[in-house]
Chain A
Amino acid sequence: MSQNEKILEVKNLKTYFFTNVGVVKAVDGGNFHLRKGQALGIVGESGSGKSVTSLSILRLVPKPAGRIVEGEILYRGEDLVKKSQKEMREYRGNKLFMISQDPMTSLNPVFTIGNQIGEAIRRRKKLTGHDLKEKIVEMLKVVHIRASETRAHAYPHQFSGGMKQRSMISMALACQPEILIADEPTTALDVTIQAQILKLMVEIREQYHTSIILITHDLGVIARFCDYVLVMYAGKIVERADVKTLFKGNRHPYTKGLINSLPHLGKKQRRLESIKGQPPDLLNLSGGCPFEPRCDYSVERCSVEYPPVESAGKGHLLSCWRWREI
């Protein structure tokens, strides 16, 4: 098993939602891959399709409105799109593990934390009774939960947000998945707790060599944590680059706008550069580039034709008609 092997490859993924008022193209032609031990970031605003991408990988797109209409999701060469839900159950938890934004919705309120972690442990190891209890306490210690013997008997509502998120991570560790998908794992948490959770995720990555897909809208988290980044806008991946290129050598006007609109610590500026206009309405997209109405660089062609994916350097791909001039 080589270090740089691609363990996940997504090809031309299209996940649409068929609603009463029209078809929402939540993910429209996603192409990317994830290598062993890599941390891939997906940035985008609400409605850009980043969460739907992760749900598609797990085959958990809300039914009946949502459907994967096209594309392949290859996990070690096997196409997950073709699997039945029964077969998928073997992948979820064991191979792919998801941590969601709100840990309260992922934990069952009527079982104790220890019970739920125990369930995750039993998926991999046949442990019972005392051995299982010991393992549960050990898992809680790994994620730095103090007084873990008594805490194992607590219910989710007795845990703070940060502790719940840490219990989720300990479950992930118990399952030892190859790919950890973290969907906004720190958005609902306070800044000091966010720092703890990110540190824990870095530890896991180093120790277990887990590949991580981190979905967030926070560019600070991306800069600290990820190797490679996808920027999504209205269901399309508009720019793909390694993290340094993304911050220093980005070429897509949307990426540029996002990075420039952040307030910089220590450098007090009078006004922030903002992206004009409003997020796109996914029901009424034109055939052209969805960013065109908000873009400072747009030309006539942008509103009619979607730009092809072009390479602007090693591993740096983007879709924009005018990237050479930017």
Chain B
Amino acid sequence: MKGESILKVNNLKKYFSMGKEGIFSGKARMVKAVDGIDFSLYKGQTFGLVGESGCGKTTTGRCILKLYGITDGEILFQGKNIHSFEGKERMQYRRAVQAVFQDPYGSLNPRMRVGEFIEEPMLVHGIFNSSDRKKRVEELLGVVGLSSDHSSRYPHEFSGGQRQRICIARALSLNPKLVILDEPVSALDVSIRAQILNLLMDLQEEFGLTYLFISHDLSVVEHISDFVAVMYLAKIVEMAPCEMIFKNPLHPYTNALLSAILVPDPELVQDAIILEGDVADPHGLEKGCLFRNRCFNATDECMEKEAELIEVEPNHKVACLRVA
């Protein structure tokens, strides 16, 4: 399972300020988007981060990309704190960590030719001369399954799946070590989704890439991931190797998520655990377990005490009082 650790997240916290609590109050109202999470990414593996909207999974990705500053904790890239990087080291980090986002329509500049778009990162980082860059663009287009004459076209001439391929080509242009995939297939049609997932897995094998795969779709996460963490309201509630989490889910939230997956088989009778209510507003839930108001297993103890993430079997961590 384990290999060389490439990125380590220690007690990462990211709070967003929502203004002051009252006119005369000096206390700022904070939204805890990510509240103390730990995990490690290992070389050549895929780490799946699952959760519903607003659970902090995208914020985590953005913190790693240094698109956000962090409130507390540290992110170590190959043993070094990424926030201590200056100058050359910072550029190197930016080169080593790339991202592919959900919406391929939004992430492409409509006025840029595809070739220019893929070439831009190399230009910024000043690698290769002009003719080498052109060669590299053609090579990258080939790698992601497009043809080299596509490079002179504009984004609007491409379908959603092709656009996502272009974004992947750009992410690969600097030979990254780690790629943050933030819902890369959610906006795509079903028949195209499988193509892109296959492409991502092929590229991982070919270039030894490490992925942080952020998604709300558990069946996709199961397919691509080696290790999975489930987030609920800014915290990781369960974390385990992929097979373990799907065969033996322990946290009630993971159970509910898994049972909410609709299996495309009309003959299968599923006993769905249907959670009541919406994801809670974390305000007013300062004490105790954040999931307790939707949990089918909650007791009085859950109102009082917050569960820690504890290792219940090797590599399998759960934050639930009723499990431990």
A271 and B279 in contact (CB under 8 A), knowing A45-B189, A247-B266? no
**Within the complex, which residue of B218, B222, B262 is in contact with A221, where a contact is CB–CB below 8 Å?**
B262
Contact assessment for A195 and B267 in the assembled complex, using a CB-CB cutoff below 8 Å = no
CA distance A219 to B190 in the complex (A): 9
Contact assessment for A195 and B198 in the assembled complex, using a CB-CB cutoff below 8 Å = no
Contact assessment for B190 and A160 in the assembled complex, using a CB-CB cutoff below 8 Å = no
CA distance A274 to B259 in the complex (A): 26
Q: Taking the complex as formed, is A146 at the interface, i.e. its CB lies under 8 A from any CB of chain B?
A: yes
Contact assessment for A217 and B194 in the assembled complex, using a CB-CB cutoff below 8 Å = no
Closest residue on chain B to residue A162 by CB atoms: B278
Contact assessment for A265 and B261 in the assembled complex, using a CB-CB cutoff below 8 Å = yes
A191 and B219 in contact (CB under 8 A), knowing A196-B274, A244-B267? no
CA distance A163 to B276 in the complex (A): 12
Contact with A along B182-211 (1 / 0, CB 8 A): 000000011111110110010000000000
Which residues of B have CB within 8 Å of A217? 189-190
Kindly provide the distance from the CB of A181 to the nearest chain B CB, expressed in whole angstroms: 20
Closest residue on chain B to residue A242 by CB atoms: B266
Contact assessment for A191 and B194 in the assembled complex, using a CB-CB cutoff below 8 Å = no
Q: Taking the complex as formed, is A80 at the interface, i.e. its CB lies under 8 A from any CB of chain B?
A: no
Given contacts A222-B264, A276-B195, 4 further A-B contacts (CB under 8 A): A162-B278, A246-B266, A257-B191, A262-B219
Which residues of A have CB within 8 Å of B270? 224
Q: Taking the complex as formed, is B75 at the interface, i.e. its CB lies under 8 A from any CB of chain A?
A: no
Closest residue on chain A to residue B247 by CB atoms: A266
Contact with B along A216-231 (1 / 0, CB 8 A): 0111111110000000
Kindly provide the distance from the CB of A233 to the nearest chain B CB, expressed in whole angstroms: 10
Contact assessment for B260 and A258 in the assembled complex, using a CB-CB cutoff below 8 Å = no
Contact with A along B214-232 (1 / 0, CB 8 A): 0011111011000000000
Which residues of A have CB within 8 Å of B261? 191, 220, 265
Kindly provide the distance from the CB of A44 to the nearest chain B CB, expressed in whole angstroms: 9
Contact with B along A122-164 (1 / 0, CB 8 A): 0000000000000000000000101000000000000010110
Contact with A along B244-265 (1 / 0, CB 8 A): 0011000000001101111111
Contact assessment for B265 and A223 in the assembled complex, using a CB-CB cutoff below 8 Å = yes
Q: Taking the complex as formed, is B277 at the interface, i.e. its CB lies under 8 A from any CB of chain A?
A: yes
A192 and B256 in contact (CB under 8 A), knowing A219-B264, A223-B265? yes
Closest residue on chain B to residue A160 by CB atoms: B278
Which residues of B have CB within 8 Å of A276? 195
Q: Taking the complex as formed, is B275 at the interface, i.e. its CB lies under 8 A from any CB of chain A?
A: yes
Interface size of B by Cβ–Cβ distance < 8 Å? 47
Closest residue on chain A to residue B243 by CB atoms: A268
Contact assessment for A272 and B194 in the assembled complex, using a CB-CB cutoff below 8 Å = yes
Contact assessment for A261 and B275 in the assembled complex, using a CB-CB cutoff below 8 Å = no
**Within the complex, which residue of B195, B216, B275, B278 is in contact with A274, where a contact is CB–CB below 8 Å?**
B195
A223 and B266 in contact (CB under 8 A), knowing A192-B52, A192-B275, A258-B191? yes
Q: Taking the complex as formed, is A194 at the interface, i.e. its CB lies under 8 A from any CB of chain B?
A: yes
Q: Taking the complex as formed, is A19 at the interface, i.e. its CB lies under 8 A from any CB of chain B?
A: no
Contact assessment for B246 and A265 in the assembled complex, using a CB-CB cutoff below 8 Å = yes
Kindly provide the distance from the CB of B253 to the nearest chain A CB, expressed in whole angstroms: 9
A243 and B266 in contact (CB under 8 A), knowing A191-B257, A265-B222? yes
CA distance A259 to B266 in the complex (A): 12
Q: List 27 A-B contacts (CB under 8 A).
A: A45-B189, A46-B160, A162-B278, A190-B52, A190-B216, A191-B260, A192-B275, A196-B274, A219-B190, A220-B263, A220-B264, A223-B263, A223-B266, A223-B268, A244-B266, A258-B190, A263-B197, A263-B219, A265-B263, A268-B243, A269-B223, A272-B197, A272-B223, A274-B192, A275-B194, A278-B192, A279-B189
Closest residue on chain A to residue B268 by CB atoms: A223
Q: Taking the complex as formed, is B107 at the interface, i.e. its CB lies under 8 A from any CB of chain A?
A: no
Contact assessment for A46 and B189 in the assembled complex, using a CB-CB cutoff below 8 Å = yes
Which residues of B have CB within 8 Å of A218? 190, 262
Q: Taking the complex as formed, is A199 at the interface, i.e. its CB lies under 8 A from any CB of chain B?
A: yes
Which residues of B have CB within 8 Å of A264? 219
